[in-house]
Amino acid sequence: MPTDNQDDNDPDLFRKAVGKIRPVKQDKIHPKPKRRKPVPEQTLRDQREVMDSLLSDEYEPAADIETGDELLYTRPGLQHSVIRKLRRGQYAIEAELDLHGATVVQAREAVNTFLKNARDHDKRVVRIIHGKGNSSEGKLPVLKGKVNSWLRQKGEVLAFCSARPNDGGTGAVYVLLKRV
């Protein structure tokens, strides 16, 4: 109890009432909870849209492609010996994609993913089996023309040609990819 000659706001009065104290030693700091990184949804949508536009169905390099037509495409500057070896099937096939039974949308996504994975794993020569169109309406090869168009649009594709008869003939293509 304070006496009359002491002030009620006196800091010494508080210290006398509390008594002898010592500071608590604590070296721990409670961490702030980690916040989840935001999902960049708009960026993901933009990337999907770019990938879809890279393999556009609107680009048609040639008129109707028939079942027996051979495909051949090379980027300028590629050596003739490389193209000749590719056409003869003299390069080892390092990966293969079979598009039988796929819709155009499924095939576009599969080709895009396949080429990306092949590049990521340093594959140079791959085979894409698009089929001859025997089970499609009008017996015309739908995916053959689409694959022809899509591969021409991909910058990592140096060349492609129809496969040898024992590798699928005009129902498949050998694709030569750039080095990573």
Position 7 scores a pLDDT of 59
* Domain annotation covers residue 156: yes
* Domain annotation covers residue 4: no
* Domain annotation covers residue 36: no
* Domain annotation covers residue 34: no
Position 160 scores a pLDDT of 95
> Measured between alpha carbons, how far is 40 from 38 in angstroms, rounded to an integer?
6
CATH for 128: 3.30.1370.110
The total of structural domains in the chain comes to 1
* Domain annotation covers residue 6: no
Position 122 scores a pLDDT of 93
Residues in the chain: 180
Domain hosting residue 113, numbered range: 41-177
Smallest Cα–Cα separation from 82: which of 124, 123, 122? 124
* Domain annotation covers residue 7: no
* Domain annotation covers residue 70: yes
Q: Is 138 exposed, middle or buried (0-12, 13-18, 19+ CB in 10 A)?
A: exposed
Give me the average pLDDT of each 10-residue run along the chain (180 residues).
Answer: 60 81 77 82 80 57 60 91 93 94 90 93 94 72 87 92 91 91
